[in-house]
Chain A
Amino acid sequence: MTFINYASREINCKIVYYGPGLCGKTTNLQHIYDSTAAQARGKLISLATETDRTLFFDFMPLELGTVRGFKTRFHLYTVPGQVFYEASRKLILKGVDGVVFVADSQEERMDANIESLYNLEENLRAYGYELMKLPYVLQLNKRDLPNVVPTTDLTAELLRKGEPVVEAVASNGVGVFDTLKAVAKQVLTELRKS
């Protein structure tokens, strides 16, 4: 849910990184955090297990700049990818303005991608959202690994509506900002329409 505050001249939007376990959602946020100036971002909050698996969510506020005199601030969230965290994963989607689906390009994770995408659509519907109408980007992550599925096959399985597709290697930052830019742009464009 976009918040526009006339008093503080701020627009706040919520973007959620979704995807199967270990696909690189937290790595995306970590790279954004490491690569942005301290004054443009807040703390990176990670509610993780002792083994660094996301338990509830990661959160990071990021200020992109000013448009029409309003500061644009994006609240970036990740969900826990592991299947058994379904209840908490669903909670994070509440009030979402844009979604990034981070797909794991490895062959053995194909089923996990499909299951997670189906789960995303289900959980969005529970809040009255339709993936087809929401700002949405598909990120194909881990493109540097040897056992990856060709992008044409991945998109054939995972593409939903002609959304932007970004090839990425989040661990070294490739495609991370392109993904963020693609989804943020759609969120702001959506704001223009409303």
Chain B
Amino acid sequence: MKNTCSIQKARVNVTRGLWRCVLIRQSWYEFAGRCGPANSFVYCAFRFSGESKVVLPKIRCLVPTDQRFLSMANSPILIREQRYHQIKAVLARLRLDASARLVVLVDKDGQQIAVHGELGELDTTSLASLAAGNVAATGGMAKLIGEREFPTLSHEGERESIHISVIGRVLLLVVFDDRSSLGLVKLRSKQVSHELALTFAEIERDSQLSSSEGSLPFGEITDEEIDSLFSQT
């Protein structure tokens, strides 16, 4: 048995509504992409398995109508230990290669996923939320002028600077100082973006599987446990 992976960047062509990718000859591949807004780029990961010859899947984009698809928009994201450590290893390597102070992976909704580097007193939760707001605002500006999105953002300060790369539905945020340079940070960020996209696509696939199998850890949470949270505050 041979197992290989491929990652592709797909453009969504529909002009309205949400979309999903549909693979031709689906039995050959396992799809790990995710729903997203129309007219956007996405990364789709495919796992090929079995003895069949590997053929790159063709992607067709459709406007979905079924309710199951819509509910995916709000299914929880589960990060297992193994994936988390995979991400942390990539961030550690990036931090070293880019001579950066700090590297943070953030979900586009503002949730911090992982962080590596010199934290000090830095409030990374707020940083994550503001970075997501920043990308959302500039993304809105991009659309107004007819661009799909701005894939990278840079803010240069006197001593500290920030570079943000948009990788599918996650943001890679690098904080650096004069030990590094914007060019180096851009280059190194780009080098790891495919790897992170692939990992995150697999995280989403795992999450959807766990959701559909009902294997989330809170399936049996009781009302008493929920109520007790509020007495702890």
Contact = CB atoms under 8 A, between A and B. Distances in A.
A in complex with B:
yes
Nearest to A87: B140
B73 A128 contact: yes
A67 B126 contact: no
Interface in A116-136: 127-130, 133-134
Interface stretch (B154-162, B177-185, B213-221): B213-221
Interface string B171-213: 0000000000000000000000000000000000000000100
18 contacts: A2-B77, A5-B113, A6-B84, A7-B79, A36-B233, A42-B123, A65-B230, A66-B229, A67-B221, A67-B228, A70-B217, A75-B129, A91-B139, A95-B108, A95-B111, A130-B70, A184-B230, A194-B76
Given A97-B74, A128-B70, A185 B107 contact: no
Interface of B: 18, 35, 70-71, 73-81, 84-85, 107-111, 113, 123, 125-126, 129-130, 133, 136-137, 139-140, 211, 216-221, 223, 225-230, 232-233
Interface in A133-184: 133-134, 177, 181, 184
Contacts of A56: 133, 137
A3 B79 contact: yes
A18 interface: no
Given A6-B79, A7-B84, A129 B137 contact: no
B56 to A, nearest CB: 28
Q: Which of A36, A40, A64, A133 has the most CB of B within 10 A?
A: A64
Q: Lowest 6 CB-CB distances: which A-B pairs, in order?
A: A95-B109, A65-B232, A7-B84, A2-B76, A128-B73, A91-B136
A6 B111 contact: no
B219 A64 contact: no
Contact of B85 (A7, A14, A177): A7
The secondary-structure label for the interface of chain A is: mixed
Interface residues of A, number: 52
A48 interface: no
Most chain A C-beta atoms within 10 Å of own C-beta, residue among B35, B75, B211, B217 = B217
A70 B130 CA distance: 25
Interface in A65-112: 65-68, 70, 72, 75, 87-88, 91-92, 94-95, 97
Contacts of A3: 76-77, 79, 107, 111, 113
Given A3-B113, A95-B107, A192-B218, A57 B211 contact: no
A153 B80 CA distance: 48
B216 to A, nearest CB: 6
B97 to A, nearest CB: 23
A61 interface: yes
Interface of A: 1-8, 11-12, 14, 36-37, 40, 42-43, 45, 47, 56-57, 59, 61, 64-68, 70, 72, 75, 87-88, 91-92, 94-95, 97, 127-130, 133-134, 177, 181, 184-185, 188-189, 191-192, 194
B22 to A, nearest CB: 17
Contact of B110 (A42, A95, A181): A95
Given A65-B233, A67-B218, A4 B76 contact: yes
A181 B18 contact: no
A94 B84 contact: no
Nearest to B124: A42
A94 B137 CA distance: 12
Nearest to A59: B129
Contacts of A189: 223, 226
Chain B CB within 10 Å, residue with most, of A59, A65, A72, A194? A194
Contact of B218 (A47, A97, A188): A188
B109 A42 contact: no
Contacts of B84: 5-8
Given A5-B84, A72-B229, A188-B218, A14 B73 contact: no
A91 B220 CA distance: 33
Nearest to A134: B74
